[in-house]
Structures are given as C-alpha cells and as structure tokens.
Amino acid sequence: MRTVYGVSALTGEWPSSTVCIGVFDGVHLGHQQVLRTAIADARAHGRPAIVVTFDQHPLAVLRPERKPQLISAPDAVLTQFAKLGLDVAVVLPFTAETAKTTAQEFFDKTLKGKLKAETIVIGEDFAFGHNREGDKDWIRQRCKTIVVPPVEMDGERVSSTRIRNLVREGDVAFARRLLDAPYTLTGVVVPGRQLGKTLGIPTANLAPLHDQVLPRIGIYAGQAHTNGATFDAAISIGERPTVEDAGFAIEAHLLDWEEFSLYGNALSLSFWSRIRDEARFDSLEELAAQMKRDVDSVRSALEVASAG
C-alpha cells in the first residue's frame, strides 16, 4: 500500500478510483465493512481503492474539549489499511483552514480533481466540509455513492465510542470482538524501579507515545510485541499500592523472556482479557506470590482465547 501525506504531490496517477473517507480510529468491524466495500467496488472496475483519512481527529480542531482519546496509534491504523488490501492511503492534515473548506471545494479539488473519484464509499453518518454539508444525500447528487449501513453486535451498533467505553471499563475481551483484534497500546520501554526484578518477575515499563484510551486499573492477560518478536504477557495497569510512593505505571511481565535489555525499544501491549482488580498486599512476599499466580492465570486465559 502506498501512503501519501497531503494531495499536492498527486498528479493524476490513475484515470479513476474508488474512494472511502473517514476517521477510522480503531479500524473496527464497522470501519472494515466500509473499507472492504470500497475494495470490492475498486476491484470490480479495475481501479485503485483509496482511503482518505486525517492526521488528527477533526474534533481536536473543531471542539478540543471533546476530542476523544485514540483507540489506535496512527501507524497501526495504516497497518490495518494495508492488511485489508487498500491500494493507497491519503492522510490529510486537519487544521482550522481545513475546517473552513466547503464541501464543494473539497469535492472538486480533492475527491474529483486529485483522486479522480468515480465512486465514493462512506458510513451512514459520515459528512465532510464546513458545517458537515457534504452528507450522503449531498454526495449522491454529484457522484456514484455507496452508503454502508452500520454493523451491530449484541443488538448495539459497533462504534469507536462504544469501544472506548469498553476499554475504560476493563472489558477488553468484548472490545476485542468489536475490533476483530486485541486492543493495543503502543509506546517505548522506560526504566522503572526494578521492583519486579527484585521479586523474581521482571517487567517492562511502557510509556505510551499517543493519547490512547487506558484500560481500567487491574491485571490483564495479553501479549507484548517488540523487536519483531511476540511474547505472552501479564500486564499491570495501576498505582502499585503495596509499594509506598510507587506511582502509576503500565508494566508487563513477558513470559519466557530471556531478560535482554528493552530500554528505549518500541513496545506494543495487546490486551486479551482481564484477570483481576489491583490489590494491596501486606508484604512484598505476598505480592510476589500473587504475581506468580497471575502468570499462571494469564497462561490459562491465553490458551482459552487462542482456542476460541
């Protein structure tokens, strides 16, 4: 997949295209339905499938106080686009000037002028342009338009808002169903207090790189991805109340890890299921014993998840 930042460099590389537009944070099942519909239409007509998205959520500009936390890191969104089979991803800057652009100007200059859109594929409630003028009815008057209905699961619409709420509640197992993939935090490994190593259960401390939603405080079964390798992991998010002044941390014990240095490395943590709430113990020995039980619980939980 080719990734293009802005459209100024595009000079008519294709005579026509199928274009889908959206924010696509999380690339959840509903988003995937829109993207797959665009790909199918493009393949049927022998033209590229292009996804148009933005470098930040529009609400970051329009209503900063309502800007949602991210579900996926921007690079992860692009990776998902490529896995689904999109040919081109166009990432547009969303600025105050962008917000003033009329629907007609965006349609004429970008969608038709630069991308040569013959078919536009959108979700049911998507709209572009100043004051959201370019809704599905507006687009239909100017171009072949495919409006993809929302996807539902357990009687409710699959949406980014629903997924954020599930993650905040700690229900990462259900969030995984809506995402069709585990919820994943990305960041870098930073030095910690070495407490895990002292207790015989070393951990890698994650400093997130983006303003992503954090799962509810507690212990989770998941996986850690670093240096091209994947490890099953017991993940802790919380204040570590057993240790005085320990402070908040996101840390993971990588199962079957040979303790090579991870400091400064990129690390992604994928959350598969919740194991338990955070708890305070009367001694470090009790904490160590519980951590070892958590490792056993994580192994069992991941075996069940992979079997299902």
- Which residues, in sequence order, are bridge partners of residue 119? 18, 144
264 vs 195, more confident: 264
Mean pLDDT score of the chain, rounded to an integer? 91
The two structure tokens encoding residue 60: 């970051």
SS3 content of the chain, % helix, strand, coil (to 5): 35, 30, 35
Are 89 and 17 in contact by the 8 Å Cβ rule? The answer is no
What domains are defined for the chain? 2-157 (3.40.50.620), 174-307 (2.40.30.30)
| pLDDT the model gives residue 224 | 96
pLDDT surpasses 80 at 197 = no
| pLDDT the model gives residue 306 | 75
Among candidate residues 199, 198, 286, 214, the one with its CA nearest the CA of residue 249: 214
pTM of the full predicted structure? 0.92
pLDDT, one tens digit per residue, over 23-56 is: 999 999 999 999 999 999 999 999 999 999 999 9
Lowest-pLDDT choice from 38-42, 241-245, 289-293: 241-245
The two structure tokens encoding residue 185: 């935090």
**What values do phi and psi take at 209, rounded to 5?**
-90, -15
pLDDT, one tens digit per residue, over 119-142 is: 999 999 999 999 999 999 999 999
pLDDT surpasses 70 at 196 = no
CA distance 93 to 98: 8
